[in-house]
Structure 1
Amino acid sequence: MNPELKKLLEQHPKLEYVDAILPDLNGYIRGKRYPVQMAHKIYSSGVQMPESVVLLDTMGESSDPSGRGFSDGDPDGTLRPIPGTTRHVPWGDGKTAQVLMRLECDDGSPCPVEPRAIASRIVDKFNELGFQSNIAFELEFYLIQKDPDSQGYPKSIDVEDPKDLSGATQVYLLDDLDLRAGFLRKVSEVCAAQDIPASVITSEYSPAQYEINLDHVKDPLLAADHCILLKRAICGSAADFGMRATFMPKPFADYSGNGMHIHLSLEDDKGHNLFCGETELGSDLMHHAIGGLLETIPDMFAIFAPGRNSYRRFVPDMFVPVNKTWGYNNRSVTIRIPAGDERARRLEHRIAGADANPYLVLAAVLAGAHYGISQKIDPGEASLGVNMSGETDESIPLEWEQAISRLHESSFAEAYFEREYIDTYCALRRDELKRFNDYVSAHEFRLYL
């Protein structure tokens, strides 16, 4: 018996099921549930799963992108356990465990369209620079009522009318954390049980909106694994309290959106932070990484903002990136250098929405930083002590269709993500956009009927 599974069963003898879980393109968890008596098969022979499962859109539809799904006969790949990820699931009835999986093709090679495999390739390319990357994610989310209203709109758990803004916004208010202390404690306990390094929790700029930070780790793929598993832990814990957690970028039009921020620093082989410089603005190496990230924003925007609702988040003067700016201790810029001990000097990439796939976000950020470092790209002047989020940059595609087209035409994306994946990703998103536009909403009836 696999040692991880054996240890799990010794610690939790009342387990009934083990879930083999795989994040898809949208970060949704797919997989299969095995009775505990058959769970050994997950580790010995793997789990058969159609390769197209990682190419489903947000509605679970297969659009046969690049001939994957229907045209190729929908072949199976094999899910293989990622070592060290077998864990008890401490929510629900407590009788289930899970193990995070990766997808292989029939010949044993990594599936070329699986997001984690995409990230792994770019991590390998980045590592050729000879630096040790140190990465952490931050996630913002709302807690909402379990059931929507009669029109399908989400209902806040704290505000009866989401359009009533009077007194509803109390950012960093500890009373808000106390109000949801049971839920937040549950999340922390789940993360501890699953070795997810969750740390600081804050109440955000809107009612029942929170942010949970993950500690930095020196394994980029592990950092993205943590992000995926944190999302799952948050949702499972919310369900135990009769609520829902949503990572939708803009669930309430009048409130702030949900972002996914990623922190990056680089070290040498002795553990010295290579982003440290003579001033708080960091080293030349850091500037080059920032330069690459800023230059490639338009090309990568469809990765950072993968769906229609994603683009509702990008509004001027809302501390959301809408241009190519950077600076020290300034939340209005796109790439922020946080204040603090220079030994912890790092950059914070603030573009991605909480709905984005963390593996693809990681891939895009490392690709941009690699490009900037290898080409020694100048990021321009830093923005200090002034609001930089008031004006949008026309080069950034702030409409979904434009972003998809920009990604599809990008030679940078092709060089790092490979043409097959870019074609497949864009074909899927274009089909999803078409289905979105084909849907006749209640609002459209109100306007035109």
Structure 2
Amino acid sequence: MSKLTMKNYLRKHPEVRTIRVAAADLNGQPRGKRVPSRFADKVVEDGTRFPMSVLNLDIWGEDIDDSPLVFESGDEDGILKPTERGFMPMPWLEAPTALLPIWMYRDGGKPYDGDPRHALRAVVERYKKLGLTPVVAMEMEFFLIDDSGRNLQVPISPRSGKRRKAAETLSIRALDQFDTFFTDLYDGCEAMDIPADTAISEAGLGQFEINLMHCDDALRAADDAWLFKILVKGLARRYGFAASFMAKPYEDYAGSGLHTHFSVLDENGDNIFDDGGPKGTDMLRHAVGGCLAGMHDSALIFAPHANSYDRLVPGAHAPSAICWAYENRTSAIRIPSGASAARRIEHRVAGGDVNPYLLLTAILGAALVGIEDKIEPCEPITGNAYTQDLPHIPSDWGSAIEAFEASSFIPRVFSAELIRNLVLTKKQEKYYMAELSPTEQVEIYLDTV
């Protein structure tokens, strides 16, 4: 969206009295400012400023104690400019308000390497140099939760006035119980130009999934996922309950994943994974090989929080082993069946609590390394991955932090500055989370991730 179009948005919507400008920090939290609409043109033209350290806060919104971005550098500012997305409404607020997504640059105009959106941009540009374009679709799983009491539970249905305390996989009744919420959610997606497709009830207690349609702009796909999470959580509060993307709010039920499907187009618009049959091309195998090669060390991206590892256990409908397969949902990488022209890779490791920008950077970056190096994957498995002797994804937060920090693979995908910032953030969070009870941890993650 051009600057002129952005300025004209507010001319066409005089009811908008204030705007929000917001960027995603490393945890995917929106950080920014409230600005009266009369000053919006200045933000569009000149951007806004806040400290670089703001994109490197912990999950509580606190500075990282030993970060060089704070006192060592004088807590210097970055300049934040509007992304291509431009203004959009914020349907979860009572007053008419517009959101303007922004991302950070240094004063000389160089992208700030610690901004997760710039991390994804850098990977996409590497694809472009090879004449390639990733096409991405994401499955957004989340819970609707009544958190008004001591114990989390399914909200009372606005339709029936009843509370059904059971998982209802693919239940039309479960969807209908919250029909007004989902109608408003789809209306909000339409207003914000988020390509929300099918909704289903999932296997968890009060759990649902909405698919976001495939997109040949990976930055936009990550924007869609980030904005969708903000919309769902904000709209749920208007209904008097919570929506959460945390990985595992209930011990006895499945957690929420964020499965990512991707293919890659060449300069002619042809899918480089399509060989006309079910197996896929050498390029598909190499992309799988890259994803598998980077999976262990990328666990901190796929499972960024203490609660994330409660989901990644054998037999819990989430992958725990590093493997791939054709049409097999127990594997970490699945090659779905269907028309060969749509041949794609489904990456199934990430929880719903991830930062979508870092997630797509890790997945697409690893696949690109595989394509560049022609990495051959192990043989695809058959049967139940949980019962086989296979290498495993790190099973705890500390091991994932250590693997990410020490990795020789991760620097091929992420900048040194982002690696440093994320490691410092997660070490601080791990230290302070250890002081909290499980209930207190859930309270933190319920609203944030």
TM-score for both structures, normalised by structure 1: 0.92
Q: Letter of the aligned partner of 1:136 in structure 2?
A: A
- Equivalents in 2 of 1:348, 1:442: separation in Å? 33
2:365 to 363, 367, 372: 367
- Equivalents in 1 of 2:75, 2:389: separation in Å? 43
- Equivalents in 2 of 1:360, 1:65: separation in Å? 22
Once the two structures are superposed, residues 197-242 of structure 1 have per-residue CA deviations (whole angstroms, 9 ceiling, x without a partner) of 1111111112310111111111111110111111111112212211
Q: Secondary structure at the match of 2:365?
A: helix
- Equivalents in 1 of 2:10, 2:68: separation in Å? 42
Q: Secondary structure at the match of 1:378?
A: coil
Contact 1:141 / 1:209 at 8 angstroms: preserved in 2? Answer: yes
Q: Secondary structure at the match of 2:227?
A: helix
For 1:100, the equivalent position in structure 2 comes to 101
Contact 2:296 / 2:322 at 8 angstroms: preserved in 1? Answer: no
* 305-314 or 61-70, larger mean C-alpha shift: 61-70
Q: Letter of the aligned partner of 1:263 in structure 2?
A: H
- Equivalents in 1 of 2:199, 2:153: separation in Å? 23
Aligned residues: 434
Contact 1:320 / 1:351 at 8 angstroms: preserved in 2? Answer: yes
Q: Secondary structure at the match of 1:215?
A: strand
For 1:301, the equivalent position in structure 2 comes to 299
Q: Letter of the aligned partner of 1:39 in structure 2?
A: A
- Equivalents in 1 of 2:268, 2:391: separation in Å? 42
For 1:145, the equivalent position in structure 2 comes to 146
Task: Report percent identity of matched pairs.
Answer: 36
1:416 to 408, 413, 418: 413
* 240 and 441 in structure 1: CA distance in 2 versus 1, 3 angstrom threshold: closer
* 440 and 342 in structure 1: CA distance in 2 versus 1, 3 angstrom threshold: closer
Query: Shift in Å at residue 193 of structure 1?
Result: 0.8
For 2:447, the equivalent position in structure 1 comes to none
- Equivalents in 2 of 1:65, 1:155: separation in Å? 39
1:389 to 2:390 alignment: no
For 1:162, the equivalent position in structure 2 comes to none
Q: Secondary structure at the match of 2:296?
A: helix
Q: Letter of the aligned partner of 2:435 in structure 1?
A: D
Contact 2:18 / 2:98 at 8 angstroms: preserved in 1? Answer: yes
1:229 to 221, 227, 230: 227
Contact 2:119 / 2:415 at 8 angstroms: preserved in 1? Answer: no
Output aligned runs, 1:63-212, within 5 Å: 63-147=64-148, 149-150=149-150, 153-157=151-155, 168-212=166-210
1:405 to 2:402 alignment: yes
Contact 1:135 / 1:217 at 8 angstroms: preserved in 2? Answer: yes
Contact 1:319 / 1:389 at 8 angstroms: preserved in 2? Answer: no
- Equivalents in 1 of 2:392, 2:147: separation in Å? 40
Query: Shift in Å at residue 416 of structure 1?
Result: 2.3
Output aligned runs, 1:311-390, within 5 Å: 311-384=309-382, 386-390=383-387
- Equivalents in 2 of 1:331, 1:337: separation in Å? 9
- Equivalents in 1 of 2:77, 2:5: separation in Å? 26
Once the two structures are superposed, residues 422-446 of structure 1 have per-residue CA deviations (whole angstroms, 9 ceiling, x without a partner) of 2221122111111112346789xxx
- Equivalents in 2 of 1:302, 1:65: separation in Å? 20
Once the two structures are superposed, residues 286-343 of structure 1 have per-residue CA deviations (whole angstroms, 9 ceiling, x without a partner) of 0110111011111111111111111111121122111122122211111111222221
Once the two structures are superposed, residues 338-372 of structure 1 have per-residue CA deviations (whole angstroms, 9 ceiling, x without a partner) of 22222111111011111111111111011110111
- Equivalents in 2 of 1:9, 1:224: separation in Å? 25
Contact 1:126 / 1:367 at 8 angstroms: preserved in 2? Answer: no
Query: Shift in Å at residue 282 of structure 1?
Result: 1.4
* 315 and 392 in structure 1: CA distance in 2 versus 1, 3 angstrom threshold: farther
* 13 and 418 in structure 1: CA distance in 2 versus 1, 3 angstrom threshold: closer
Query: Shift in Å at residue 183 of structure 1?
Result: 0.8
Unaligned runs of 5+ in 1: 160-165, 444-449
For 2:56, the equivalent position in structure 1 comes to 55
For 2:44, the equivalent position in structure 1 comes to 43
Query: Shift in Å at residue 169 of structure 1?
Result: 2.2
- Equivalents in 2 of 1:393, 1:382: separation in Å? 12
- Equivalents in 1 of 2:101, 2:215: separation in Å? 18
Aligned-residue CA RMSD in angstroms? 2.1
Unaligned runs of 5+ in 2: 158-163, 441-449
Once the two structures are superposed, residues 54-95 of structure 1 have per-residue CA deviations (whole angstroms, 9 ceiling, x without a partner) of 101111111145411222111111110112321122222141
Once the two structures are superposed, residues 170-211 of structure 1 have per-residue CA deviations (whole angstroms, 9 ceiling, x without a partner) of 211111111111111111111111111111111111231011
Q: Letter of the aligned partner of 1:43 in structure 2?
A: V
TM-score for both structures, normalised by structure 2: 0.92
